[in-house]
Chain A
Amino acid sequence: MSAVDPSTPRPSWLARLWNFIVELWGVLRRPSSVFGLGALVFAGFVAGVIFWGGFNTALEITNTEKFCTGCHEMKDNVFAELKSTAHFSNRSGVRASCPDCHVPHNWTDKIARKMQASKEVWGHLFGTIDTREKFKDHRLELALHEWARLKANDSLECRNCHSSESMDITKQSPRASVAHQRFLFTSEKTCIDCHKGIAHQLPDMKGVPGWQ
């Protein structure tokens, strides 16, 4: 008996997929006749550890500066600009890396941000900002995203390092001390309201509140 019967037409790919799913479901819900319950539970546990560990390891790898600057868009534009600022080079040698400011540290928020970042992978693949000129054209849009994010979470990523509790205003310049007491301690403003363009160059600031 031949598998291909010319008299009956081959079922469509949708029907074949459906048949496969039904068969798979049948296998999955049938109790195992070969492996013991203990073996199955143990195998499931080991597979779970490997999957979860692998997932988090991969997540951490994508959360490093080396990974971020692996794309020339980041390396030649924003990372190059960061190097001359206080967040890269300063007297104490403590520095911020890309994810310190741009990825939330909290797990749920981090996953949400990572899902958003799939848009950035798209942008990389299709060369949205693959030249300096294209990057400059998009700089305002990119900056607006980050400003909006920091404004919405009350500058959480700034506050991961800079806490207003530990801020000794007597050690600050008179200008900074007055401004922090008036705007920061009263929660009238959040960090990003005043401190824009501290780690990267600014886009065209026309129309941005507080700028001319």
Chain B
Amino acid sequence: MCGIVGLFCKTQTHRHELGRLTEVMLGEMGDRGPDSAGFAVYDASTPDRSRITVLAEGLAVDWEPVAADLETALNAEVTVRAVHDHAVFSTDGDGRAARQWLIDNVAGATVLAYGSQIELYKAVGYPDQVAERYDLASRTGTHALAHTRMATESAITTAGSHPFATGADTCLVHNGSLSNHNRLRRFLEAHGESFQTENDSEVAAGYLSWRIRSGDSISEALEGALDDLDGFYTFAIGVADGFAILRDPIACKPAVVAETDDWVAMSSEYRAIARLPGAADADIWEPEPARIYSWSLAA
């Protein structure tokens, strides 16, 4: 089944409580996906720095020496903040190089996301507990995506949980199942993408990453997805300045969108939106199949 929520603050009004509102929405979708959960939060508080979120599940890593080594490797300033089994590195150096260095030098760790705005957390467990453990409620920012997972295509693991990063400041959450992910994974591997799981949604993320790396805009990449992905999906995709939604042409998986002057919210079910301030007076609609919707801070 799985549940998706996304919240995009168009104005300042709710940015101070982005995390708290996202947690409420995520909690409402708990019984759509009790296996595991994750969330990505975007904030523009450090535009000149890169942040890299690393997962070190089951490892006892002393992060300060890692940060010191990374500082040497990048020849740039690095700080690190541990959040349970996650760590968030911040640097004024090259974020992409930092990401690669962490993949190569921290054995057993997984780099979940990188970019100037995104932080990404995921874990096995009931969504309410995952949100609490990583203190989603205290987060501020412009937009957030979150996911509750009921596993179908691959095992219940933290690595198989959503969101999946698809490039700098870009991530994806998925409700549905893809039927051509094995063939597509081989194709993408041959074209330079690397995968860390057997998960079908990671292939969708890798597909978008490949298209964007090849020069596509997010909208162009999603147009391509309509042709190249076979299966059922409602996707929500986070980018640096907004987010996008796409449903498959048959629209098997649910989605509802609501918009006010202050925010745009999407969810698998209306009950997640019903709890937001001003929901009673929001414009509410169901996204049409095979149509790309996007919202941007620049717009």
Query: Are both chains from one complex?
Result: no
- Using a CB–CB cutoff of 8 Å, the interface residues on chain A facing chain B are none
- Using a CB–CB cutoff of 8 Å, the interface residues on chain B facing chain A are none
